[in-house]
Structure 1
């Protein structure tokens, strides 16, 4: 029996899954999940010390592999997350008694989660059509709005596993269409002091609040706005179109014949933002690829803990290939 600590370090919250892996099991067994507020800690070491300051399903010293999914580009053993005030160095896990470790991008973990039990309750936004679905599985596009807008593609590796292809597309410029949207773009640039609108600025929790303020003049934090969204159909429709546009562009960029998984806290907490008719209308909108887009399966992953399942599945692949 091997033990995996699977962490999903978020800009707002960090989740830690404690897993055991049997010799013949395809997926590890979840023993428990712990959640901690990321911004309350001054370093990764402090975060891990707080984690193990309470009784957990297993101690740090008995962990066979710690997998940390982190919100930013991974450079070997290091990551500088754009939305966390401290850096992440894999060496630091040894300071709390953890030994062997691995880093992967947080949306690489979400991509692996699309092949795990974490998505068994995913909601179908658009069913697949057999004439466009890839035989044997194709590239899966995973995209999700939370603190920022994450992207990752998952590609079959030809050996029975998968290769995650992370992306920082949330920091790329976001396409705006028509006079009204360009007026919104000018507003975003003014209030954020950005040179151009990015996906992170438009399709995210803060982007939802920013959009609402532009349309209504009412400035509300995402947590305050969310339960009142039913009273603001224009905010919902605009955001649904923006979210769908981001999904469409990424699905086309990676040719997501394996489907599109929408994840992240924004849609999980507010599913009306992707279940609005404007979402699929915008997703399918293309002068040349409408039929392809209309046939791709599009799923909403409502499991906000899915990142730890994906990190654990990545850990299984790592352990077995190094055995």
Structure 2
């Protein structure tokens, strides 16, 4: 019997799950799961120690999916001031093995274990088993990963930092928003993640408001965003406030914000698809897509995704799925953690 700690560590929240494995295959029983606000802890170790204090089980190993690059089992998180080293974690937590894996590598493992009812298909095309699979997902940041087939039903999985490539504006409005973000953030370069993410939703809203591009707005939404700007209270999730108002169709400013966000998301997904030719499937993960499913399905997402000039037709053969299972990264970290000997 093996007891494993699986973790999905993000800039906003960390999910820890304790699982018991009684067979050599990936069959496990969930023993305990707790979600923690990441920024309230100075490091992962005290969080895990607090977690283990809630159970009498003694874990053998751990696998943590990290929102940031992992190099030689060391990671400096992108959106959290933590540096993690697998060897140090192993010693401090008194475990036999600790594995660190990029969060989108974990999601990439996880999509292999998803069931049909955990997916919403945007483009129904038969997947090619010998072709790559692409994974993209906007949440606190923007993650991208991919899988390449080995020919025996197995895949090599790779996480990337593709979300940190330059944001390519496609219209005069997007150029104006690009310059606004540069000035607001006091930066010389704007990555795709600055637009296609939760923070991007907020920046788009602020740009449309401050540049007076959209002057028709919901005062309640505006007051909540202003309160968050002035206090940075964790009681308000500004991206959620904006997206919910857009879904309810109660705020023209929020609706335009989400329209721009979704089309920028689609354009980046199309760029990723052109680079990988993922005829095994493109999976859209991250928390934002599933929570805004109706907006995406009623948007120009597919049209913009395939707006690639002369090569547009090659994207017709890419199966596109939105991942509905919010814990796909956790599932992937369990699968990866159990595969390490």
Q: Same fold (TM over 0.5)?
A: yes
- Residues 156-175 of structure 1 mapped to structure 2, 5 A cutoff: 156-175=149-168
Classify the secondary structure of the residue corresponding to 1:117. coil
CA distance in 2 between counterparts of 1:116 and 1:158 reads 18
Structure 1 equivalent of residue 230 of structure 2? none
Once the two structures are superposed, what CA deviation does each residue of 1:12-61 show, in whole Å capped at 9, x if it has no partner?
111122223343534444444221111110012112112112126x323x
Structure 1 equivalent of residue 322 of structure 2? 300
Structure 1 equivalent of residue 58 of structure 2? 59
Query: Residue 143 of structure 1: CA displacement?
Result: 0.5
Classify the secondary structure of the residue corresponding to 2:118. coil
Structure 1 equivalent of residue 218 of structure 2? none
Classify the secondary structure of the residue corresponding to 1:289. helix
CA distance in 1 between counterparts of 2:312 and 2:196 reads 23
Q: 2:260 aligns with which of 213, 224, 238?
A: 238
Q: 1:147 aligns with which of 129, 140, 144?
A: 140
Structure 2 equivalent of residue 15 of structure 1? 15
Change (3 A) 1:180 1:265: same
CA distance in 1 between counterparts of 2:204 and 2:21 reads 45
**What's the C-alpha RMSD, in Å, of the aligned pairs?**
2.0
Once the two structures are superposed, what CA deviation does each residue of 1:196-233 show, in whole Å capped at 9, x if it has no partner?
22111000001001111222345832132232123333
Classify the secondary structure of the residue corresponding to 1:243. helix
Q: Is the 8 A contact 1:139 1:154 kept in 2?
A: yes
Query: Residue 119 of structure 1: CA displacement?
Result: 6.5
Once the two structures are superposed, what CA deviation does each residue of 1:227-263 show, in whole Å capped at 9, x if it has no partner?
2123333222211110101111111111111111111
Query: Residue 92 of structure 1: CA displacement?
Result: 2.0
Q: Is the 8 A contact 1:119 1:306 kept in 2?
A: no
Classify the secondary structure of the residue corresponding to 1:307. helix
- Residues 127-138 of structure 1 mapped to structure 2, 5 A cutoff: 127-128=124-125, 130=126, 133-134=127-128, 136-138=129-131
CA distance in 2 between counterparts of 1:264 and 1:205 reads 10
Structure 1 equivalent of residue 232 of structure 2? none
Change (3 A) 1:89 1:76: same
Q: 2:243 aligns with which of 226, 235, 239?
A: 226
Matched, 1:95 2:88: no
CA distance in 2 between counterparts of 1:251 and 1:302 reads 20
- Residues 100-119 of structure 1 mapped to structure 2, 5 A cutoff: 100-117=97-114
CA distance in 1 between counterparts of 2:80 and 2:115 reads 26
Query: Residue 158 of structure 1: CA displacement?
Result: 3.8
Structure 2 equivalent of residue 6 of structure 1? 6
Structure 1 stretches of 4+ with a deviation exceeding 4 A read: none
Structure 1 equivalent of residue 334 of structure 2? 312
**TM-score, structure 2 as length reference:** 0.85
Q: Is the 8 A contact 1:28 1:316 kept in 2?
A: no
- Pick which of 151-160 and 194-203 moved more: 151-160
**TM-score, structure 1 as length reference:** 0.90
CA distance in 1 between counterparts of 2:18 and 2:310 reads 46
Q: Is the 8 A contact 2:196 2:265 kept in 1?
A: yes
CA distance in 1 between counterparts of 2:296 and 2:166 reads 21
Once the two structures are superposed, what CA deviation does each residue of 1:252-291 show, in whole Å capped at 9, x if it has no partner?
1111111111111122222234323311110111223322
Task: Report the number of matched residues.
Answer: 311
In the alignment, structure 1 segments of 5+ residues that lack a partner are none
Q: 2:174 aligns with which of 175, 181, 187?
A: 181
Q: 2:196 aligns with which of 189, 194, 203?
A: 203
Query: Residue 293 of structure 1: CA displacement?
Result: 1.2
In the alignment, structure 2 segments of 5+ residues that lack a partner are 211-221, 226-237
